[in-house]
Amino acid sequence: MGRYDRDDHITIVANNIHKNVTKLHPPNVLMKDILTREIVPYVFAQVAMVAHCVINE
């Protein structure tokens, strides 16, 4: 996997979240629902992965 680059990873995460939000955002769906169902679990998974990488360095 090579050296872990936090800044690159954050950029990728931000781009993925942006893609998910635009893809999942029909006008009749509240942003809050999308955040709760999609973004929050995704962010938790990313944070866990980052923590795992940092701990293993």
Integer Rg of the chain from CA: 14
Q: Alpha-carbon distance 37 to 52, whole Å?
A: 24
Q: Which two tokens stand for residue 21?
A: 């939000």
For residue 40, is it within any domain? yes
* Domain total in the chain: 1
For residue 1, is it within any domain? no
The pLDDT value given to residue 19: 72
Contacts of 34 (CB under 8 A, 6+ apart): 21, 24, 25
For residue 21, is it within any domain? yes
**Comparing 51 with 3, which gets the higher pLDDT?**
51
User: Per-residue pLDDT tens for 1-50?
Assistant: 456 666 777 777 777 776 766 665 555 666 667 667 777 778 888 888 88
Full residue range of the structural domain in which residue 41 is found: 6-56
Q: Alpha-carbon distance 57 to 43, whole Å?
A: 21
For residue 17, is it within any domain? yes
pTM metric for this prediction = 0.37
For residue 46, is it within any domain? yes
